[in-house]
Amino acid sequence: MHKGVFISLEGGEGAGKSTQHRRIIEWLTDHGNLVVEAREPGGTAVSEKIRSLLLDTRNAGLDAVSELLLLFASRAQLLQEVIRPALAAGKVVVCDRFTDASYAYQGGGRQLGAATVAVLEKLVHQDLQPDLTFLFDMPVEQGMSRVAGRGQADRFEIESIRFFTRVRNAYLDRAAADSNRYVIIDASVDVDQVWTQVQTVLEDMPGL
């Protein structure tokens, strides 16, 4: 059992995770917590190199299984270097995406299936799971409209509406199956209304 608190943020493209990630870290720090910030893919020197490879649109032909293996390679490094040591030290880890994203994007979006992802999950982190997962949910079309206003799209953002519908459905299925860990946040409203939902959850969570 880890001593710290592990919080992950999940959601499709354009859901506003990055903005809420910053606010969560500020809130936790203001309340006296020692906070470690992480993101996936990325978060270590090796993992950031994998991230660049995965997001580069020039790698459009990357095989789905290769993509999944690269993500778990990045995750294994992040767990070894950052997440496990932080939790062992009693810190709060706030991670922008974790393994739920692989179930949604590769298991659902790429249609590899949950069982394939589960094999790698068991290998890489076994029973370690976030204590709390925020799922920022919104209609796919609205999310893609937000992404369109950002500028240069990455390799995932150029995927089809059909792909992101599968991603969203996979996320919602996982949330329904584990309501003790997941909190679904309505991300379709403005940023302050989203934060109000998040803050309410944080205020009620023991140990923060």
Tokens of 94: 């706030």
Summarize the confidence of residues 105-128 as an average pLDDT: 97
The SS3 assignment for 119 reads: helix
Q: Which run of H or of E encompasses 102?
A: helix 99-102
Asked whether the predicted pLDDT for residue 2 surpasses 80, the reply is no
Asked whether the predicted pLDDT for residue 160 surpasses 70, the reply is yes
Is 14 or 198 the better-scoring residue by pLDDT? 198
Phi-psi label, residue 151: left if phi above 0, alpha if psi -120 to 50, beta otherwise: left
Tokens of 76: 């294994």
Asked whether the predicted pLDDT for residue 158 surpasses 90, the reply is no
Q: For residue 83, give its domain range.
A: 5-204
Please report the pLDDT score of residue 176 as a whole number: 98
Tokens of 114: 């949950």
**What average pLDDT does the structure give for the chain?**
94
Asked whether the predicted pLDDT for residue 153 surpasses 90, the reply is no
Please report the pLDDT score of residue 92 as a whole number: 97
Asked whether the predicted pLDDT for residue 1 surpasses 60, the reply is no
- Residue 141 sits at φ, ψ, to 5 deg, of -60, -40
Summarize the confidence of residues 127-144 as an average pLDDT: 95
Tens of pLDDT along 11-48? 998 899 999 999 999 999 999 999 999 999 999 999 99
Give the model's confidence band at 206: pLDDT under 50 very low, under 70 low, under 90 confident, else very high: confident
Give the CATH number of the domain where residue 41 resides.
3.40.50.300
Please report the pLDDT score of residue 10 as a whole number: 98
Give the model's confidence band at 191: pLDDT under 50 very low, under 70 low, under 90 confident, else very high: very high
Q: How many domains does the chain have?
A: 1
Please report the pLDDT score of residue 151 as a whole number: 66
Is 150 or 168 the better-scoring residue by pLDDT? 168
CB atoms within 10 A of CB 25: 17
Please report the pLDDT score of residue 149 as a whole number: 67
Contact 15, 147 (CB under 8 A): no
